Homo-oligomer: A and B are copies of this chain.
Amino acid sequence: MITDRSQVTALIQSAKITKGIKWSEIAEVVGQSKEWSTAACLGQMAMTKEQAEGVGALLGLTDEAVAWLQIAPYKGSLPTEVPTDPLIYRWYELVNVYGTTLKELIHEEFGDGIMSAIDFSMDLQREEDPKGDRVHVVMSGKFLPYKMY
């Protein structure tokens, strides 16, 4: 019996590694970007019935696991407030080093408000570079102004 979404994430990770399937192949089945599809598999997004059944078929999940994939999960993918994994830590470091900079520049351009993390999309690509290839990430989030009332 599955009692927690993180168990489904573990099942997906295990099946993916044993079967040697790539995230981009899963994304094709899901029919969305590799970024959204991976996040959904890792317990951060809720799938539609069709998406969940597609992933279930590809990875050999039970009906119960497929049902859990359609539920909005308790989000947050990191085990500690400050991530210990070096790849993920670099992103935390960017928020720490550039956080006040992002705040100042967005406020200068848009006024008081935030950049949405919900009405948001992300695209990650390899950027070829003779001095060493780069990770090129584009993020786009709707600006939401604070409401006065």
CB proximity to B under 8 Å, residues A26-64 = 32-36, 38-39, 42, 44-46, 64
Interface size of A as a range: 35 or more
Residue in B35, B99, B112 whose beta carbon sits within 8 Å of that of A88 in the complex: B99
In the complex, which residues of chain B have a beta carbon less than 8 angstroms from the beta carbon of A86? 75, 93, 97, 114, 117-118
CA distance A42 to B140 in the complex (A): 24
Contact B122 A98 (CB under 8 A): yes
Contact B35 A149 (CB under 8 A): yes
Q: Which residue of B lies closest to A133 (CB)?
A: B143
Contact B46 A112 (CB under 8 A): yes
CA distance A29 to B65 in the complex (A): 27
Contact B135 A103 (CB under 8 A): no
In the complex, which residues of chain B have a beta carbon less than 8 angstroms from the beta carbon of A133? 110, 142-143
Contact B145 A98 (CB under 8 A): no
Contact A145 B118 (CB under 8 A): yes
Pairs across A and B, CB under 8 Å, 24 listed: A1-B14, A3-B7, A3-B13, A17-B67, A18-B67, A35-B105, A38-B101, A42-B100, A45-B112, A45-B146, A74-B84, A75-B86, A75-B97, A76-B85, A77-B100, A78-B95, A78-B96, A78-B99, A86-B114, A86-B118, A91-B95, A129-B142, A137-B138, A137-B140
- Contacts A23-B105, A110-B133 known; 4 new A-B pairs at CB < 8 A: A42-B100, A74-B79, A75-B86, A76-B85
